[in-house]
Every structure is written in C-alpha cells, then in structure tokens.
Amino acid sequence: MNKLQKALKINALFSSISGIIMILLNQPIAKLFGTSNSTVFG
C-alpha cells in the first residue's frame, strides 16, 4: 500500500468516526455551540 492509499484510508476512518460521534452526541454539541435546533435531519 502506498502512502496516498494509506493517507486516504486513515482520512476515511477519521471522517467516519467523527460523523458517528456528531450524530450520537448531537445534543451536547448543540448546547456547546448554543444552538436550539439539534436534530440531524430536521
């Protein structure tokens, strides 16, 4: 596996984990930024 493939796989993994965390913890993240609408697709 070359460096580009490795970097892209790590990037995809990090992005997926970040997205899952944001979906699961949307209420605390919304409170942190002071927003009232905390639904994902609403």
Using pLDDT thresholds of 50, 70 and 90, give the confidence band for residue 9. very high
pLDDT of residue 35: 83
Q: How many of the other CB atoms lie within 10 Å of CB of 38? A: 13
Q: Is pLDDT of 42 > 60?
A: no
pLDDT of residue 40: 62
Angle, helix 26-33 to helix 3-24, in steps of 10 degrees? 80
Question: What is the pTM (predicted TM-score) of this model?
Answer: 0.69
pLDDT of residue 18: 96
| Cβ 18 vs Cβ 6: under 8 Å | no
- What does the alpha-carbon distance between residue 10 and residue 18 come to, in Å, rounded to a whole number? 12
